[in-house]
Structure 1
């Protein structure tokens, strides 16, 4: 696939990406075209297409999906942009503390945070017990679901926009003010337009995350009849009668919406020039907030509490409650649920071991494949580099539910002599497909910083491509690669939708255990596992990164 001395690495990466990424996606397309594919027949092509596209349910699911995605965009704009502007341009008290607290929602899986919100706001929930206020009607509504999803993903906008505006600085708006523009006008006409790349990228990413999210619509939306494309796909492959062609068509529609979002972002960015970095250094001094210090700090505190504090407190309160009916009373608090988890009640310990093992396996597999792919793309010379790059980034446009459907369609064919379907390996493949873009991005960025002279010198000394990769390139990119692998471990250990759809019979994961406990009414056990999962998958990666930075010195300055 890659010409020259990189042939072997290119072929290994190409074949691996083909099996993990291309094959499932191709089978989704084939299943959408040939409804009898599962029986080994190519008869009656497109027969299912008209019936699925003409189903009024499809229009309802698509409309709900767009409402949810656009609503979350508006919510993140309302919450994230003002906070980002304040963080970028002014000296906000405790700024680093807010940054850390706004990172925590990334570490809490959306479905777990949503379960915490349900426990807090449902009728006779924690809020009503403490204050007498019942916000159940708001919770079980479209605006309520949008608010919860906004609090889960607004940090995407906050960090992107704050860093972009920080790079732009105030020098351009200061020039505008010299020419008579008021501060507000200078900001909206100069600073904010120059921050368009970060704003557009973050908002379109928010849209993609919102329409692809399964946990919140499944846990909350279904309770008031608000189905979206993701839950519609899951219904078609989990409820009888099974409708694989319909699931494939809905999957392609969902992928299409994601691609449209990224195309809009691309169109916005290429339409104008947003260069703001010249050859001269400029000061990045931030202005004092003055009389606005207290209101701005209060706004940061409220958002931090709602996005981070409240879900974690609700999860911990439920985990410590002996019975839900006992309420928030000291006499009802204890560690019985933790004892039951560590006594393997309901297979809790086995689920924990399974998920952590799969997380480690996924991190190793995705890290190795990401490094090989990035090396072949960045250091190779053949035309196959483009194909590898496209395959490596394709999972970014594939929602987890689409990947799960593709795995089912690809590896559940009766003609296959051997299949990973209904084994733990199918989960490993699904997780790797979903999370592969992370190590590829990190490794690619690292390879771009390595000049060709090192590789050329090694070749002159007689080293082959594999030796160069193993002895020179891999050690140089190791800091970035380790960072990405820790992120992959954290996400894979608690991944939900693939765990529910393709887990083999009898195998339980953390996400599957939590989901089943809520279905069975054992909410305390479910929340206990949620809390344990958050602690393990957040603290372990953070602790490892801190240790590596401390003891490996400059070699690991890329870990951040």
Structure 2
């Protein structure tokens, strides 16, 4: 690369590196330093590792770590048992109303986990909707490891379902048919041929489920504490939120959780690179799918039951609670009212302020992560500058940083003595937290898009006198914009309803959608909280879809 080229890309590299340092490196380094130097918050590096032994010797630590791994493993197993049969049926057979089932099974992924959990609580708790309709409740089942596993599985299994259905569909049934010609039974052909060819996608999705399960805060906080089932996430929250505050202990637990998350992602990468299951013919698979025959009704029943439990129950519970005049009035026509929705739009308890704060933070997070992500991806993929590997690592690192860990890191980093300024106790601290948690979304999408673009277009622009900045802005950005826009819309939806960082680092007097809903439940205003939850789900689902539709229509007009 010439000196001129280096001069052209250096500003982009420094912009990417600066953004990543502030958003990713600062909270992570602060956690590491706090775990090593317990008095660093007072500006002292004295007595390194002095409290580490006490934290690691805490008898509750082993139990919390074991519970975390156990819960993640149970959710993985349950997601596999639920999603694999549905995904295989969707991929290989003509399932009636298949697009409808895809949409219905996508909705659970769009419902924030803590909101879905609150819906299940309203349904299965004593005097809940199940007891009102059928005379019994399942509270002992819900407030248990089984209940937490079930609720979290319904929220995460779509990741496995779509991965399996798309992977198996790409593999097709032709190779299994060849195995059957040589004497294999249908079951043996599936287990020895179709499933191994689909193993990379399946393994990746299951490990993503494990990482999501051990990082989830809302469900363990709402269900696990009542069941006496503490995990690392709730343990960190207790050490940060309860007196006496134990920041070194919280930092140590955070590093343990990071280690578990990182181990999951490293295992995923090892599985994907250890063996290659590839076909050698290079021919596309036959897209024809087989009829279900006698299995049509059982398969439809399975899809219907799963869709009802994962989508119908939480959505109906949320809407029923939001429409209830009083919770004690139950499911009765004279108890139905729109008062809670009127209260939300009438700014009761600061509802509109919370909504505006979250939507503003969502837009700002999408824009900032989009900028950092696309510049970082450009530097990593399109340049040969030294240090680009470090930038690439820093864009992936947040995948191993659970939201509670990011929140703790920001508290530690921006409360250090001697800082000339600090974003702590301002809305900017939430923006930093959201950007750190969600940066991998835009960075990975942009990286994949840049990889698919050859170098000849940028080189041609340089030949005709365009600077690196002009080529980047006028040629590369328009080409990667569709992928980048999709990622930014996903970031907007996720940031608008983020819970963990919002609860831990939100400044005094500032509400977001998540903290508003959480506090309404704690204060007993369940109907108002559920009305806000329903509005949130509608907004964060429809707005990105509308934007994507407008973007696709605009691209068609240009063509």
TM-score range, shorter-chain basis? over 0.9
Provide the alpha-carbon RMSD of the alignment: 1.4
Q: Which runs of 5+ in 1 are unaligned?
A: none
Aligned to 1:159: 162
Aligned to 1:180: 183
| 1:237 and 2:275 are equivalent in the alignment | no
**What is the distance in 2 between the residues matched to 1:338 and 1:367?**
33
2:55–2:252 contact (8 Å) kept in structure 1: yes
1:479–1:555 contact (8 Å) kept in structure 2: no
Matches within 5 A, 1:309-320: 309-320=312-323
Aligned to 1:479: 482
Aligned to 2:220: 217
Aligned to 1:207: 210
Aligned to 1:136: 139
**What is the distance in 2 between the residues matched to 1:278 and 1:508?**
58
TM superposition shift of 1:107: 1.0
Secondary structure of 2:458's aligned partner: helix
Instruction: Choose from 404, 408, 415 the match for 2:407.
Output: 404
2:8–2:469 contact (8 Å) kept in structure 1: no
Matches within 5 A, 1:367-516: 367-516=370-519
**What is the distance in 1 between the residues matched to 2:395 and 2:188?**
43
**What is the distance in 2 between the residues matched to 1:233 and 1:488?**
25
Instruction: Choose from 196, 206, 216 the match for 2:199.
Output: 196
TM superposition shift of 1:46: 0.3
Aligned to 2:541: 538
TM superposition shift of 1:555: 6.8
TM-score by length of 2: 0.98
2:160–2:205 contact (8 Å) kept in structure 1: yes
Q: Which runs of 5+ in 2 are unaligned?
A: none
2:379–2:385 contact (8 Å) kept in structure 1: no
2:171–2:285 contact (8 Å) kept in structure 1: no
Aligned to 2:231: 228
TM superposition shift of 1:254: 0.4
Cα distance, 1:277–1:471 mapped onto 2, change above 3 Å: farther
**What is the distance in 1 between the residues matched to 2:352 and 2:417?**
34
**What is the distance in 2 between the residues matched to 1:419 and 1:459?**
42
TM superposition shift of 1:459: 1.0
Secondary structure of 2:226's aligned partner: helix
Aligned to 2:285: 282
Q: Which moved more, 1:33-42 or 1:380-389?
A: 380-389
**What is the distance in 1 between the residues matched to 2:430 and 2:468?**
32
Instruction: Choose from 11, 17, 34 the match for 2:14.
Output: 11
1:4–1:382 contact (8 Å) kept in structure 2: no
Cα distance, 1:132–1:51 mapped onto 2, change above 3 Å: same
**What is the distance in 2 between the residues matched to 1:550 and 1:292?**
40
Secondary structure of 2:378's aligned partner: helix
TM superposition shift of 1:315: 0.2
Instruction: Choose from 141, 145, 149 the match for 1:146.
Output: 149
**What is the distance in 1 between the residues matched to 2:430 and 2:280?**
45
**What is the distance in 1 between the residues matched to 2:507 and 2:519?**
15
**What is the distance in 2 between the residues matched to 1:80 and 1:404?**
32
TM superposition shift of 1:425: 0.6
Aligned to 1:353: 356
Instruction: Choose from 244, 252, 256 the match for 1:253.
Output: 256
Secondary structure of 1:405's aligned partner: helix
TM superposition shift of 1:268: 2.1
Instruction: Choose from 51, 63, 86 the match for 2:89.
Output: 86
Q: Deviations over 1:301-360 (max 9, x none)?
A: 110111111101100000000000000001000101111111211111111111111111
Cα distance, 1:469–1:264 mapped onto 2, change above 3 Å: same
**What is the distance in 2 between the residues matched to 1:275 and 1:402?**
38
Secondary structure of 2:51's aligned partner: helix
TM superposition shift of 1:4: 5.5
Secondary structure of 2:261's aligned partner: helix
2:493–2:544 contact (8 Å) kept in structure 1: yes
**What is the distance in 2 between the residues matched to 1:554 and 1:126?**
49
Q: Which moved more, 1:475-484 or 1:42-51?
A: 475-484
Aligned to 1:47: 50
TM superposition shift of 1:73: 0.7
Secondary structure of 1:223's aligned partner: coil
**What is the distance in 2 between the residues matched to 1:145 and 1:544?**
34
Q: Which moved more, 1:545-554 or 1:523-532?
A: 545-554
Secondary structure of 1:92's aligned partner: coil
TM superposition shift of 1:3: 4.4
Q: Which moved more, 1:307-316 or 1:338-347?
A: 338-347
**What is the distance in 1 between the residues matched to 2:104 and 2:473?**
38
TM-score by length of 1: 0.97
| 1:99 and 2:102 are equivalent in the alignment | yes
TM superposition shift of 1:261: 1.2
Matches within 5 A, 1:53-132: 53-132=56-135
Q: Deviations over 1:59-112 (max 9, x none)?
A: 111011011001001100110011111111111111111111111112110000
